[in-house]
Structure 1
Amino acid sequence: MSDLAALRHVGLHVAETAAPVLGFTLLYATTSRLPAALAAGLCVAALVAVHRLRQARSVWPAVGGFALTAGAAAVTVLSGDATNFFLPVLLLRATVVAATPIMLLLRWPPVGLAAGVLAGKGLVWRRCPPRLRAYSVANLIWVVAEGALVANQARLYLADRALAMGAFKLLVEVPVHVLLAVLMWVVYRRMTNRPCPCEGVHS
């Protein structure tokens, strides 16, 4: 997979991840009925999972995405609180944000790991100092922006503002994540504008 193809893949992943939130938020905003909103979110998550499987992509994103939405729905039903629909993903993202600085100090930038999987090149980039440095810088950009987004969602969660959480994710987080992907790709390409001898070809 080329760098541009990987970038498109990230954009598609962002859209697919946001789709269940869109279904949930729209139904809850228009009906104020939590069961209907949860059903909408689960239906959209199921459609996304089927789409991922039909596109011959890995089964794990399809199963994992639906399982995460189903878990969120279960937590929401048990608590009766609409904000808890966003809690599992919020906790997952907060964990990743908290772990990323440690990974960067260990010279294992998560962005590099993800890119290696998407591009089908594994850990080859770790043998090339310019690639490792570029992924670390790109990951630093990501963790700062993602940390700010997660902090705002946590603030809205603590204020019990479910609709605001959904609107923020759809209207702010989705565009920011797409822009972040583009910015990180540009930074990576500028920092690795020469072939790395250990890779043989420019990736």
Structure 2
Amino acid sequence: MSHPANDPGARPEPEDDGVGRPAAGKAAPTAADLATQYAAKSGVRRNDAGQIDVLSSIGGVQGLAESIAPGLVFTILFTITTDLQVSLVAALAVSAVFTVIRLVSRTPVTQALAGLVGVAFCAFVALRTGNAEDFFLPGFFINGGYIIAMTASVVFRWPFAGLLFGFLRNEGIEWRRDAARVRAYSIATWIIVSVLALRLVVQVPLYLMENVAALGSTRVAMGLPLYALGMWLAWIVSRPRG
């Protein structure tokens, strides 16, 4: 899909009216437009066989490393040294290195930069409380927020999986006219919610027990790789029949 800025046949954008608002005549984005924009920015991709490309969807090997390495380094160093500050600095350094690599190689830095900000915030929380396990605390709230949002999407008949996969399958939001497709995408969304809920079920007790080694290990194992598996299962379950 070509970007309007690079498409010689694209319709020019209306000019600004001088007060920061689009000139009259520009239609407000429709639900289909918003769904398409969301899906396009999600990073989820299909391979040549028409199946979801799991590795590409999580940013490839580099994206996987960016997701796993900071938490893994923090867990290993703290387990060995029990020095919170050293462990936090090391985690931040690893995340910063990935961002620099992307800058030098001139590849998109959004994922790495978001990871760096996330690690910095986790480090800030742990440093303020003085508890190593609090490095993982913000992740619980983010995870819970996704669970609430995805559950709401099913309740309001806009299941998250449909918004994401409908774009990849060229269904747009037409699938909402078919009760069977809505049901399939709702089930697919529940699969993803189950993965997120499983993280909390396993990791919250470890957090309460202040078991940093086990918490960090399960965070790595149940992080992006498990989420990617959930996305793949959701894709399979929601595939069109016939």
TM range (shorter): 0.7 to 0.9
Alpha-carbon distance between aligned partners in 2 of 1:163 and 1:19, rounded to the nearest angstrom: 15
* 2:52 paired with 1:2: no
Q: Residues 1-203 of structure 1 correspond to what in structure 2 (within 5 A)?
A: 1-2=45-46, 4=51, 6-11=53-58, 12=60, 13-52=63-102, 54=105, 56-57=107-108, 59-115=109-165, 119=168, 125-128=172-175, 129=178, 132-173=182-223, 175-189=225-239, 192-193=240-241
Q: Could you list the runs of 5+ residues in structure 2 that have no partner in the other structure?
A: 1-44
1:163 Cα deviation after fit: 1.7
Q: Tell me the secondary structure at the aligned position of residue 157 of structure 2.
A: coil
Q: Could you list the runs of 5+ residues in structure 1 that have no partner in the other structure?
A: 195-203
- TM-score with structure 1 setting the length: 0.77
Give the AA of the match of 1:2.
R
Query: Taking structure 1 as reference, are residues 126 and 170 closer, same or farther at Cα in structure 2, changes over 3 Å only?
Result: same
Counterpart contact for 1:7–1:185, Cα < 8 Å = no
Query: Taking structure 1 as reference, are residues 115 and 85 closer, same or farther at Cα in structure 2, changes over 3 Å only?
Result: farther
Alpha-carbon distance between aligned partners in 2 of 1:193 and 1:15, rounded to the nearest angstrom: 36
CA RMSD of aligned residues (A): 2.8
1:10 Cα deviation after fit: 3.3
Quote the sequence identity (%). 30
Counterpart contact for 1:15–1:174, Cα < 8 Å = no
Counterpart contact for 1:19–1:44, Cα < 8 Å = yes
Counterpart contact for 2:46–2:52, Cα < 8 Å = yes
